[in-house]
């Protein structure tokens, strides 16, 4: 997932705020627009395989500078809604709910990752 400055908040400040959310609320809501990773058709099916999912965030220089309103409720299906936990601030059409956040400088071969072979064939 590409990430960057949001509403003129510097990148490092965003990371520090999200680490504080993890400490106070036990979870992080990482808001995003969803143009590439739709939660119902891409994120949730990928996460349903049962293995822990690692989200790799790559800093982008195309920062969001528009207006945004903090979310007050969340839904997994767009029908039933629950309040955003105290201590969490997020915006965006969708959000990933993360259990931990850590900085890393690891290098990954993204070509080594993909859908299990049976699902890949079904999608072609």
**Which pair of structure tokens corresponds to residue 72?**
């007050």
Q: What is the pLDDT of residues 31-82, one digit of tens each?
A: 888 677 888 888 888 888 777 888 888 888 777 777 778 888 998 888 999 9
Sorted by where each begins, the domain ranges of the chain are 2-123
Determine the longest span between alpha carbons in the chain, in angstroms: 43
pTM of the model: 0.75
Residue 98 host element (H or E): strand 94-98
At 34, is the secondary structure helix, strand, or coil? Answer: coil
């Amino acid at each position: 997932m590409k990430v960057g400055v949001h509403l003129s908040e510097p990148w490092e400040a965003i990371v520090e705020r999200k680490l504080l959310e993890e400490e106070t609320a036990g979870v992080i809501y990482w808001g995003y627009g969803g143009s590439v990773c739709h939660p119902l058709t891409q994120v949730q099916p990928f996460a349903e395989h049962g293995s822990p999912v690692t989200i790799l965030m790559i800093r982008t220089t195309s920062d969001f500078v528009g207006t945004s309103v903090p979310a007050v409720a969340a839904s997994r299906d767009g029908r039933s809604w629950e309040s955003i936990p105290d201590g969490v601030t997020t915006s965006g059409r969708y959000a990933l709910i993360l259990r931990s956040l850590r900085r890393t400088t690891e290098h990954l071969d993204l070509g080594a990752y993909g859908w299990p072979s049976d699902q890949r064939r079904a999608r072609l």
